[in-house]
Amino acid sequence: MNIKQLVFIVVLLSLGTVLGVMLERYLATGPDETARTETALEHALKHQQPGYVCPMHSQILSDAPGSCPICGMDLVAIKKDTSAETDNDDDYPVVSIRSGMINSLGVRVALVERGDLVRKIETPGFVQLLRKEKYSRYTAPAKGRVSRLYFTTGQWHETGDPLVDIDLDDLVLVQEKHLELLAAARQAAPASETLLNKQAVMSPAPSDGASDDMSENNASDTAGEDVGETAETRSDSHDATITLEKTRLLMQAAGMSDEQIKHLEETGETSPTITLYARHPGEVMELRVKQGDVVNARTMLFTLGGLMRATVLANAFQRDASWIHPGQEVDVVLPHNPDKVWKGRVSSGAVSINTNSQNIGIKFEFVAPSRVVKSGMYVVGNIYGRVKKGALMVPAEAVIYSGNEKRVIEALGNGQFRPVPVKTGISNDTDIEILEGLEEGDTIVVSAQFLIDSESSLQASYRRMAPVQ
């Protein structure tokens, strides 16, 4: 065997070995592995245009590697941004917590529910104007004695509160006379009805003229008998003119209410005491009597006043202008007494606009004692807008505010939690409306949600930092 034959054999063996390896790889992987495994995302990233940029001049772009024509620096490849194409779970990964840790963290949950929601608008402002609201004078209705005072100096009274008791000298006599006349009227009613029935049965129907004459005669006889009875029973001829209606008017003038008169007629219990009540809110001023004093009719007792109507110019955001209308109720809170709420009403909306803050000015009024409200005082008015029925809402503390985004933590069960971006609507002190992101019946976290959200954010950051395989 010569050298040429030996070289030829070696070449054939080498060529056969190479072909055998290639054939083995072909049979193992197939001819279109790259086309089969490449995803649409990878294909799009490969063909993103342009692919290279100058690090010093961002306007220089190229599809292929090269140099910048301005500075001569080599173009660098543009990094493929796949963050926008990733699944939402990469930005808000699920957090798993053991049951024991859930109890330690104090996790509390609530359901997403539907209900009626009222928008609360907070409007701070200053008292611009004060004027007297109501002022009443109290006098004794008749001669008597002051038996009790229900108030102390500076005490505030609401409408209907008792102020003073007065024992009237002649009130019991009027009450007894009223009961006497009432009893007589009740006895006379059945007798008159029986007499009329007998006359209708025994007597024929008279002509029109005879009927009139008979009625006049009967009326005259009855009046004479009544006068005779009164003259026999009472020596004072003035008592003969007193009627049931007059005694009722006398008792009302003395200060007895319709309920008290009705109680007298039902029980027959007389009392010389009448009580004067507050006709409107206020405090007693100019007190001129004390307990035990004897007073005559129309004697000045005291005045009820001290009530002021305050006009407030308050600020509100422009976005709330459509929710504020004249006549709406306002809950007014004074800074030195935040536990007390004074009721008021909007008098005018959007009366002005602040060119610096772009807030609108509104006016509302409320009534309060002069000792608690002063001109120029800072107050806060809470205005409640229209009721939105059937709103999807969650507790206000469940919402996490992060920059321009709002999130809640949804409880998935089995110790798993996930942040969910939401879009919110109107709100008040306790609840907030959910427009997008949740459905009725979902379970959300209302306590320890910030810890869970932080853990989810850390996991998302770790995923973004992981190298691309």
Higher pLDDT, 221 or 353: 353
Beta bridge partners of 447: 108
DSSP state of 205: P
* Same domain as 292, residue 154: yes
Higher pLDDT, 271 or 224: 271
d(CA 324, CA 168): 53
* Same domain as 261, residue 113: no
228 in a structural domain = no
pLDDT reported for residue 220: 35
pLDDT reported for residue 214: 35
**pLDDT one-digit tens code per residue, 177-197:** 888 888 888 888 766 555 555
* Same domain as 279, residue 265: no
If you compute the radius of gyration of the chain from its CA atoms, what whole number of angstroms results?
A: 47
Domain tally, the chain: 6
Q: With bands split at pLDDT 50, 70 and 90, how would you rate the model's confidence at 452?
A: confident
Residue 449 CB partners (closer than 8 Å, separation 6+) = 398, 400, 408, 409
Average pLDDT over residues 413-425: 88
Average pLDDT over residues 125-135: 90
Higher pLDDT, 243 or 454: 243
Strand positions, DSSP E, 63-169: 76-77, 95-96, 108-111, 113-132, 136-139, 144-149, 156-157, 162-168
pLDDT reported for residue 415: 84
Length of the chain: 469
Q: Is the pLDDT of residue 302 over 90?
A: yes
pLDDT reported for residue 35: 45
- Structural contact between residues 114 and 392, judged by C-beta atoms closer than 8 angstroms: yes
Average pLDDT over residues 129-152: 90
Q: What is the CATH number for 289?
A: 2.40.50.100
**pLDDT one-digit tens code per residue, 393-410:** 999 889 988 878 898 989
* Same domain as 447, residue 418: yes
Q: Is the pLDDT of residue 81 over 60?
A: no
Find, among 323, 344, 305, the residue nearest to 119 by Cα: 323
* Same domain as 161, residue 277: yes
d(CA 438, CA 306): 53
* Same domain as 283, residue 156: yes
* Same domain as 267, residue 174: yes
Q: What is the CATH number for 126?
A: 2.40.30.170
What type of residue sits at position 343? Answer: K
Percent of the chain at pLDDT exceeding 90: 22
* Same domain as 360, residue 287: no
218 in a structural domain = no
408 in a structural domain = yes
Whole-number Cα distances in Å, 226 to 88, 213, 221, 230, 239: 101, 20, 9, 6, 12
- What number of other Cβ atoms are within 10 A of residue 379's Cβ? 23
d(CA 351, CA 374): 23
* Same domain as 113, residue 57: no
Percent of the chain at pLDDT exceeding 70: 76
d(CA 190, CA 33): 116
377 in a structural domain = yes
Average pLDDT over residues 27-56: 57
Angle 43-48-50 from CA coordinates, rounded to 5°: 155
pLDDT reported for residue 47: 54
- Structural contact between residues 165 and 145, judged by C-beta atoms closer than 8 angstroms: no
Beta bridge partners of 273: 167
d(CA 393, CA 117): 8
H or E stretch at 11: helix 3-29
Find, among 265, 287, 260, 286, the residue nearest to 275 by Cα: 260
Phi, psi of 193 (to 5 degrees): -65, -40
pLDDT reported for residue 429: 80
Q: Is the pLDDT of residue 331 over 70?
A: yes
d(CA 447, CA 450): 8
| 439's tokens | 């459905």
What type of residue sits at position 22? Answer: M
Q: Is the pLDDT of residue 376 over 70?
A: yes
Edge-to-edge strand order for the sheet containing 282-285? 136-139, 300-305, 282-285, 156-157
Q: With bands split at pLDDT 50, 70 and 90, how would you rate the model's confidence at 9?
A: confident
Q: Is the pLDDT of residue 164 over 80?
A: yes
pLDDT reported for residue 36: 46
Q: With bands split at pLDDT 50, 70 and 90, how would you rate the model's confidence at 150?
A: very high
| 52's tokens | 């290279």
d(CA 262, CA 270): 12
Domain residue limits at 414: 93-117+389-465
Residue 57 CB partners (closer than 8 Å, separation 6+) = 68, 70, 71
Across the chain, mean pLDDT equals: 78
Residue 434 CB partners (closer than 8 Å, separation 6+) = 112, 392, 393, 394, 422, 423, 424, 425
Q: With bands split at pLDDT 50, 70 and 90, how would you rate the model's confidence at 209?
A: very low
Angle 280-286-291 from CA coordinates, rounded to 5°: 90
Output helix, strand, coil percentages for the chain, rounded to the nearest 5.
35, 35, 30
* Same domain as 405, residue 326: no
* Same domain as 298, residue 263: no
Last residue of a domain, one of 328, 353, 386: 386
* Same domain as 334, residue 316: yes
Average pLDDT over residues 40-49: 54
Q: Is the pLDDT of residue 387 over 80?
A: yes
Q: Is the pLDDT of residue 28 over 60?
A: no
397 in a structural domain = yes
**pLDDT one-digit tens code per residue, 237-294:** 445 578 888 988 888 888 888 888 888 889 988 989 989 999 988 889 889 999 999 9
